[in-house]
């Protein structure tokens, strides 16, 4: 089983603060890195899928970067709002596990305090 | 509306009583997958399917079976459920490959007593 780690495990920020989280994954045999947002009592929803080293993706106030050579991805939230409160998951797929196998990290739980 | 549906949403059963959790998607996706979510462990992949009649094991396949006879359906079968299979189960689908974003179903909360 591949090791995908996310940090921090949880985070409390004030409304308006910017924040970022980290996802670490195996640096060899990379195929794709996904970010999902998971709100309580709902299903995970895709934010980004990144496949190339150096990829940067943006959706509104949320953006992500990818470094496949060193095996990490950052997710940034600019000007956090209460509706950003959720668990943010990253998921990795790579050749050593089979391209179609997906390994999730345990997530970063974000709470934005109004 | 594009969606992944799962049934039942909640199920309480007893050890050893065979059960099936259905999963269906209406997006014509080739790739479908089952995950279980347990506190502190995150989502773990049980089985996945790249197309009709093509299935393969994820990281935690023991005690589960799947089938993919039609493109839209991917049922999860527990032949003899045990208490350690008490969990929240999600089905997901995506276009073609795991490099595409996955769409998740609403989840099935299973309790095995």
DSSP-based three-state secondary structure for B35: strand
Q: Which residue of B has its CA nearest to A87?
A: B42
Does the pLDDT of residue A98 top 90, yes or no? no
Residue B1: partners with Cβ closer than 8 Å, 6 or more residues away = none
Interface test with A, best of B43, B49, B54, B108 (most A CBs within 10 A): B43
pLDDT in tens, B88-108: 999 999 986 666 889 999 999
Inter-chain residue contact B104 with A107, CB threshold 8 Å: no
pLDDT tier at A94, thresholds 50, 70, 90 = confident
Assign 3-class secondary structure to A34-79: EEEEECCCCCCEEEEEECCCCCEEEECCEEEEEECCCCEEEEEECC
Point out the residue among A34, A43, A101 whose CB comes nearest to the CB of B90.
A43
Neighbours of B110 (CB within 10 A): 21
pLDDT in tens, A28-41: 888 899 999 999 99
pLDDT in tens, B68-90: 999 999 999 999 999 999 999 99
Does the pLDDT of residue A97 top 70, yes or no? no
């Amino acid at each position: 089983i591949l090791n995908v780690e996310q940090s921090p495990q949880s985070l409390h920020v004030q409304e308006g603060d910017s924040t970022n989280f980290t996802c670490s994954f195996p640096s060899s045999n990379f195929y794709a890195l996904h970010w999902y947002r998971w709100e309580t009592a709902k299903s995970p929803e895709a934010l980004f899928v990144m496949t190339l080293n150096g990829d940067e993706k943006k959706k509104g106030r949320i953006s992500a970067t990818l470094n496949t050579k060193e095996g990490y991805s950052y997710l940034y939230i600019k000007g956090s709002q209460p509706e950003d409160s959720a668990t943010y998951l990253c998921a990795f797929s790579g050749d050593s596990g089979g391209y179609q196998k997906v390994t999730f990290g345990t997530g970063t739980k974000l709470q934005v305090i109004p | 509306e594009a969606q992944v549906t799962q049934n039942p949403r909640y199920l309480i059963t007893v050890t050893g009583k065979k059960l099936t959790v259905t999963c269906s998607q209406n997006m014509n996706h080739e790739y479908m997958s089952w995950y279980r979510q347990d506190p502190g462990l995150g989502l773990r992949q049980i089985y996945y399917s790249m197309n009709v009649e093509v299935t393969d094991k994820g990281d935690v396949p023991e005690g589960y079976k799947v089938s993919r006879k039609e493109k839209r359906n991917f049922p999860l079968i527990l032949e003899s459920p045990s208490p350690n299979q008490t969990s929240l189960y999600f089905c997901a689908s995506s276009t073609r490959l795991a490099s595409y974003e996955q769409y998740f179903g609403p989840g099935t909360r299973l309790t095995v007593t």
